[in-house]
Amino acid sequence: MSATTVARVRAPASRRTGWVFVGACCALIALALIALGSGRYPLSIAEVAAVLWDRVTGHAAASTSDAIVWQIRLPRVCVALLVGAALAAAGTAYQHLFRNPLVAPDTLGVSSGAALGAVLGIFLGAGFLAIEAAAFLGGLLAVGAVMLIAARLSAHEPLVTLILTGIVIASLLGAAISMFKYLADPYNQLPAITFWLMGSLAASSAQELGVLAPAVGVALAVLFALAWRINLLALPEDEARALGIDSGRLRLAVIAAATLATSASVAVSGIIGWVGLVVPHMARLIVGPEFSRLLPLAAVFGAAFMLAIDTLARTLASIEIPPGILTAVVGTPVFIALLARSRRS
């Protein structure tokens, strides 16, 4: 097949991906406006748009609507967007890196490792920055242990061994978390740890957003910058090396970036499962497995999914439902449907 023919084949796919991405971004903006207006004090989309416009143009007046949108709901919406995008991008990177659609931050033990680091920080009374650093270190150590043990155990079924090792390590880390819960002060530390482990964005603030945004921004920037090189990881080692790709360093960079995104999200929101597993499959069904097209769409889908879940969590009932519960309730049937569709195709 000539280069001209390849270009003609790729052009419609690129245009289709572009239109899908633009549509997803427009839907995300609409969903953000709905989220800003949803809650105990409901606001219409027109009212939300007016408040935002007044702030942008410098004509904002002190009002209840302005305070609710800018001080309460906007930081939470932004945190939800960043957490969803980070978890979806990390799941996409892990699945492509390990060539396994069942790999996710949860199955590799990254979430559990980050959770253990954060719980240890809460147990010791550390500040938010220290808790985030502990979460990143815990997630990095967890995925490193999983890769090392899986490489030593089996060379015949490496992917299956990797998944099983991740489950075992996650179980061990869960036992360590339970030990800290048992040792924690039942009046102060234990409620904070338990509530945090259930997953919640209720405590989102401008301060947490200011810490989360740089970490997620750096992680996503690294993944986007390496997107075309990450495609080459699907090739055998000798072919990738012939193309000038150092597979070892590239894998370490991808793992570090994906782990940073996951750990920063876990430090802010607690453990919220299924986002890094289900969302990449949804995006892959639309644009295919090519990583440079898959990653941005998965990030947008993840942001929209997490924002929708968080909006439902704080509006469905009189008390706020932990978003980790809703992601499991929604993610389980969606993932089963995706598996059935992929098997039929």
- Give tens-digit pLDDT for 253-285: 898 899 889 988 988 888 888 899 899 988 998
Cα separation of 80 and 178, whole Å? 27
- Tokens matching residue 58: 């410098």
Question: Considering the domain 72-344, what is its CATH architecture?
Answer: Orthogonal Bundle (1.10)
Query: What would the pLDDT profile of 25-53 be if each residue is shown by its tens digit?
Result: 999 999 999 999 998 888 998 999 988 88
**Which residue's entry shows tokens 């060379």?**
155
What's the CA gap between 83 and 89, in Å, rounded?
10
pTM to 2 decimal places: 0.88
Given pLDDT bands bounded at 50, 70 and 90, which one contains residue 245?
confident
Average confidence (pLDDT) over 224-252: 79
- Write down the pLDDT at residue 1: 44
Mean pLDDT of 240-252: 78
Whether 142 contacts 124, CB under 8 Å: no
**How high is the pLDDT of residue 217?**
95
Q: How many residues does the chain have?
A: 345
Residue 340: is its pLDDT beyond 50?
yes
> Looking at the predicted structure, is the pLDDT value of residue 69 above 60?
yes
Helices (H) and strands (E) in the chain, counts: 15, 0
Q: Which long-range contacts (CB under 8 A, 24 or more apart) does 179-186 make?
A: 180/116, 180/119, 180/120, 180/123, 181/119, 183/123, 184/123
**What pLDDT digit, counting tens, does each position of 146-194 carry?**
888 887 876 566 667 877 888 899 999 999 999 999 999 988 888 888 8
User: Distance between CA 36 and CA 70 in Å, rounded?
Assistant: 9
Residue 12: pLDDT band with limits 50, 70, 90: low
